[in-house]
Chain A
Amino acid sequence: MALPWLSRTAPTAHGPHVSALTLFLTFSRITLSGFGGMPFWTRRALVERQRWLTEREFVELMALGQLLPGPGTLNLAVMVGQRFAGWVGAMAAVVGLLGWPALLVCALGMLYQRYGALPVIHHALVGMSAVGAGLLLASGVRMARVLPRQWRPWLLAGLAFAGVGLLRWPLIGVMGALAPFAIAAAWKETH
């Protein structure tokens, strides 16, 4: 067992030793500057400022975080926290990432309950939501560019869109029907 002040300068197999407090503060900072798109701020903090991760490690962890359920940045925080400071580190990173915004949105919720009925507020929010819908659609279009030019992935994307978006079927039914088929098809393709 290394002494704490030695382990600071002697990196372990997992990289530098980072305290839970540092993880908490770093992810607090990321989340509070994270207006409009977290990946940008996360990369800046973890790769450029703290240098906990290399560019490649960051991209791989981010991709994995996107694929797992839940917000990609949250999953990344769990992985980074656990890697550098175990369970306590994972918790510290998550509390830093979600704690402040959770308090903030509750405060916004209170304001909304009081003033949300004002036409001015409502009109502004409607315009912002219309833009928000465009941002989601644009993300979908951007992501679709990585799909190979074969009929199957496009058909699957189209079916998921039609089932959940147009027909408004329950998400769990649509995913339950499509996911096993999609994974089996991808598996067969590589074998």
Chain B
Amino acid sequence: MDRPALGALFLHFLVLAFLAIGGAPTILPGLHRYVVETHQWLTSPQFADVYALAQVAPGPNAMYIPLIGWLVAGWAGAAVALLALLGPAATLTILVGRLTARHPHAPLGRAIRRGLTPLTIGLMLASGWVLARTVNHAGGGYLLTLGTVVLVLRTRWHPLWLIAAGALAGLAGLV
């Protein structure tokens, strides 16, 4: 495992963060590619573990990104990942927030919003798919993933209960 250069790590996370339209989960495939496939800083099972850890901690689910930074390069890695996550979001949000406050119905803004919606949806599904492929090696895991989809769409159960059920299923060796 080579030690990452912090500058390169920051730049790569920054580029990904600019693409995180629709929330931080949409860049999961990009991060997996960079951290697991290209550089092998984490194994695929570790990557999936990290996502699960961040999910059960309070706070935005995006915190899996600094956690990956932490595991890859310690405190500096976490700080770099956090800054990269924050920078584009805060800058663009302030700019766009001002623009839309001035022109709430600008046609270009509407075209961007309408145009990007399908891409966001496609990326969200891709993230779920990549995570499922990363973590599931047997039928039981896919069944658990599929069952979650059905339960979320059909019931109003809180996601935390489902995650707890997943932990139990894992402990019981069903996955």
The residues of A with any CB-CB pair to B shorter than 8 Å are: 31-38, 64-75, 78-79, 82-83, 90, 94, 97-98, 100-102, 104-106, 108-109, 112-113, 116, 120, 122-144, 146-147, 152-154, 156-161, 163-166, 168, 170-172, 175, 178-179, 182-187, 189-191
Interface of A (DSSP majority class): helix
Chain B 101-116, CB-CB to A under 8 Å as 1, else 0, gives 0000001101111111
Task: Provide the residues of chain A in CB contact with B142, threshold 8 Å.
Answer: 130
Task: Provide the residues of chain B in CB contact with A36, threshold 8 Å.
Answer: 55, 158-160, 163
Is A141 a contact partner of B149 (Cβ separation < 8 A)?
yes
Q: Give Cα A180 to B40, complex, Å.
A: 32
B126 nearest CB across to chain A (Å): 3
Within 8 A of A (CB), among B109-136: 110-132, 134-136
Q: Give Cα A3 to B131, complex, Å.
A: 54
Q: Give Cα A144 to B120, complex, Å.
A: 9
CB closest chain-A residue, reference B168: A127
Query: A182 is contacted by which of B50, B116, B168 (Cβ under 8 Å)?
Result: B116
Question: Apart from A138-B148, A161-B126, what 19 extra A-B contacts exist at CB < 8 Å?
Answer: A32-B59, A64-B96, A64-B100, A68-B96, A108-B54, A134-B146, A134-B149, A140-B125, A144-B121, A157-B125, A158-B122, A161-B129, A164-B30, A164-B130, A171-B16, A172-B30, A175-B21, A178-B119, A190-B110
Q: Does B10 contact A (CB under 8 A)?
A: no
- Chain B interface: which size bin? 35 or more
Which interface residue of A36, A68, A157, A179 has the most chain B CB atoms within 10 A? A68
CB closest chain-B residue, reference A91: B90
Task: Provide the residues of chain A in CB contact with B153, threshold 8 Å.
Answer: 138, 141-142
Query: A165 is contacted by which of B108, B125, B169 (Cβ under 8 Å)?
Result: B125
The 23 listed contacts between A and B (C-beta, < 8 Å) are A32-B59, A67-B22, A68-B93, A70-B85, A70-B88, A71-B62, A71-B85, A78-B94, A83-B97, A102-B82, A104-B59, A106-B67, A112-B50, A123-B175, A125-B52, A132-B163, A133-B132, A134-B149, A156-B118, A165-B122, A166-B129, A183-B112, A190-B114
Is B60 a contact partner of A126 (Cβ separation < 8 A)?
no
Is A182 a contact partner of B122 (Cβ separation < 8 A)?
no
Task: Provide the residues of chain A in CB contact with B7, threshold 8 Å.
Answer: none
Query: A71 is contacted by which of B23, B28, B52, B112 (Cβ under 8 Å)?
Result: B23
B103 nearest CB across to chain A (Å): 13
- A105-B63, A178-B119 known; A172 vs B112 contact (CB < 8 Å): no
Interface of B (DSSP majority class): helix
Query: A123 is contacted by which of B118, B130, B171 (Cβ under 8 Å)?
Result: B171
A118 nearest CB across to chain B (Å): 11
Within 8 A of A (CB), among B129-161: 129-132, 134-136, 141-142, 144-149, 151-153, 158-160
The number of A-B residue pairs with CB atoms under 8 Å apart is 379
- A94-B86, A108-B53, A138-B149 known; A160 vs B122 contact (CB < 8 Å): yes
CB closest chain-A residue, reference B27: A171
Q: Does B167 contact A (CB under 8 A)?
A: yes
Q: Give Cα A178 to B16, complex, Å.
A: 16
A81 nearest CB across to chain B (Å): 10
Is A160 a contact partner of B175 (Cβ separation < 8 A)?
no
B149 nearest CB across to chain A (Å): 5
Query: A70 is contacted by which of B15, B24, B166, B175 (Cβ under 8 Å)?
Result: B24
Q: Does B4 contact A (CB under 8 A)?
A: no
